[in-house]
Amino acid sequence: MATDVKREEQFLEILQESSKKLVVVDFYSPTCPPCLVVDQILNKLAMQYAGVGFYKVDVKRFPTVSSQFRISATPTLHFFRKGRSVGEVRGADRQAIVRAIETHSSDSEDASAFGIVGHSDLTRLVLKKQSECLNQSDDNPMENIFTEGDSVLESDVDEQLVLHIAFNQPIKLHSIVLKAPIDRAPKTVKLFVNRMDIGFDDAESSEATQEIEMTEDMYKSGGVVNLRYVRFQNVSSLSLFVADNLGGDDVTAISQLAFVGTAVDTANVSDIRQGESGHSH
């Protein structure tokens, strides 16, 4: 949810915050119908982009700040990086807002998405409660690969794993990042797009969207695996079948799994139409 600015001095704190991450400021008016649409849009985006700051400034309450940024119509959104505005979107155009967030979230070195230029870390979009892992150890389950620390996901009765990962919106997947203890790290990995129903038998016999042969050098260099991008343009879920591991062990382990790419815009057309003209002042 976007934070409503209560005092003018708070805006200086917002600019300081933008030195570390992207900050989105919605200049709005309480009597502006498109502003209500933007408010709903930002509330949803705030849940998807945990690393972005979202704020609201009432233009009538803070005319000096509004004048400083030449706000002539509401809603107008400014995107701040390192204390300065790096972008602007007018009206309730969700598609333009998402595009600006994706663009400016990747502007800083801190948001380099594992060194892949022009793409973001989309792991934040994983629906953990709707994702599952087949043949996981009860003591070392899948949730460990999405948390910081030394914990790992481990297989149980043999070396094979099937991971079903659900996302809260469609994505364009550019790369995956696999990190694991070398001696138990996945070797042969088959990826399936939008196949949450697939099990071990089907995974072994079916043609994958892409099959990967991981090596020790790949893990030592960071575990980034670039995918055949054209095959991963509308991914609602991704299933990974791990057939074996580098050490030939009965237990496979994964310490981190991350996803790099861009979110697919799913803008509500009625939202866009309501906000095309904005509200003049």
Which residues are tagged catalytic?
A: 32, 35
Query: Which one-letter amino acid corresponds to residue 254?
Result: I
Distance CA 2, CA 40 (A): 10
φ and ψ of 274, to 5 deg: -65, -25
Q: Which residues pair with 78 in a beta bridge?
A: 25, 88
CA distances from 243 to 65, 144, 178, 191, 213 (A): 58, 20, 15, 11, 10
Q: Any idea what DSSP says for residue 142?
A: G
Distance CA 75, CA 203 (A): 49
Q: Which residue has the tokens 């099990």?
A: 199
Distance CA 37, CA 96 (A): 14
Distance CA 133, CA 269 (A): 36
DSSP 31-87: T-HHHHHHHHHHHHHHHH-TTSEEEEEETTT-HHHHHHTT--EESEEEEEETTEEEE
Distance CA 217, CA 155 (A): 23
Query: Which one-letter amino acid corresponds to residue 8?
Result: E
